[in-house]
Amino acid sequence: MKQKLIAGNWKMNGGLAANKALLHELQQGLAHALDSKHAQVAMCVPAVYLSQVQQLVMGSGINLGAQDVSMHEHGAYTGETSASMLKDFAVRYVIVGHSERRQNHGETDVQVALKAQRALSAGMTPIVCVGETLSEHESGHTEDVVKRQLAAVIHANGHCISEIVVAYEPVWAIGTGKNATPNQAQEVHAVLRAQLKAATSQAERVHILYGGSMNAANAAELLSQPDIDGGLIGGASLKSADFLCIIAAAAR
Ligand code: PGA
């Protein structure tokens, strides 16, 4: 069985002192948890803290992640961060197409696919987020939406597709405290797995994470579903005790 992947997403939270304290607590907790080796852990932090967090997690088994990457290689793109810049800080994972970027910055499926491509060509693993809004959910369009979002990434990345991580994040579950039920999530994960299988013989290797109000209380049940290979954790990644509980649930 493949190791589960638990990735934190701090979003626009943190500060030099708070980051240091949180990572210290996490590392202490991980050192005491004998079974922590059975889950992979990553933390996706704001770009300005990559250098600090790179130093703080060195040798701890916590992988460094970023929250976005430019779809351009370099040049006149004020405010953007390129894949090669992230690579300079030993970034292993990059979130692309988070719903907050799709909604607040108008990112399209094609742009998200290009970002995934940039990450892959720089040797990083894109965590490609897909997920339906509440109205899409209520009108029964969940499957169409996530398949359309993933199809763009498959189309742009061809045979490299088994190197990505997918995160199913129903928009209505993000930061709301209202997670998808394990059955609801599993159903969508199975659809995504089938879509990957049609594109690659390596689809079983791909981690499909669930994200959206995953917490210490609901993680074990969500993570026990056959196609849920880990979690993308927002709010609960900012509290060491909660994040450690989720890692422990994944290591079972
Ligand atoms: P949440 O966020 O865990 O706070 O719901 C998840 C995410 O947006 O990645």
130 CA distance to ligand 1 middle (Å): 13
DSSP-assigned states of every residue in 28-52 = HHHHH-GGGGGEEEEEEE-GGGHHH
CA-closest candidate to residue 41, choices 189, 193, 230: 230
Task: Indicate which atom in ligand 1 lies nearest the CA of residue 99.
Answer: 8
Calpha distance 170→175 (Å, rounded): 11
Which sequence spans correspond to the domains of the chain?
4-250
Indicate the CATH number for domain 4-250: 3.20.20.70
| Pocket-forming residues, ligand 1, beta carbon under 6 Å | 9, 169, 174-175, 211-214, 232-236
Q: What atom in ligand 1 is closest to the CA of residue 215?
A: 3
* CA distance linking residue 116 with residue 128, whole number of Å: 7
Q: What is the pLDDT of residues 118-161, one digit of tens each?
A: 999 999 999 999 999 999 999 999 999 999 999 999 999 988 99
What is the residue type of 242?
D
pLDDT at 36 over 60: no
Residue of 6, 9, 134, 246 best suited for mutating to test ligand 1, as the one with most atoms within 8 Å of CB: 9
As a whole number of angstroms, the distance between CA 192 and CA 63 comes to 25
Q: What is the pLDDT of residue 31?
A: 85
Q: How far is the CA of 11 from the centre of ligand 1 (A)?
A: 9
Neighbours of 188 (CB within 10 A): 24
pTM above 0.85, yes or no: yes
Rounded to an integer, what is the distance from CA 164 to the centroid of its chain? 10
> Which atom of ligand 1 is found nearest the CA of 236?
3
Q: What is the pLDDT of residues 78-120, one digit of tens each?
A: 999 999 999 999 999 999 999 999 999 999 999 999 999 999 9
| Residue 235 alpha carbon to ligand 1 centre in Å | 6
pLDDT of residue 223: 97
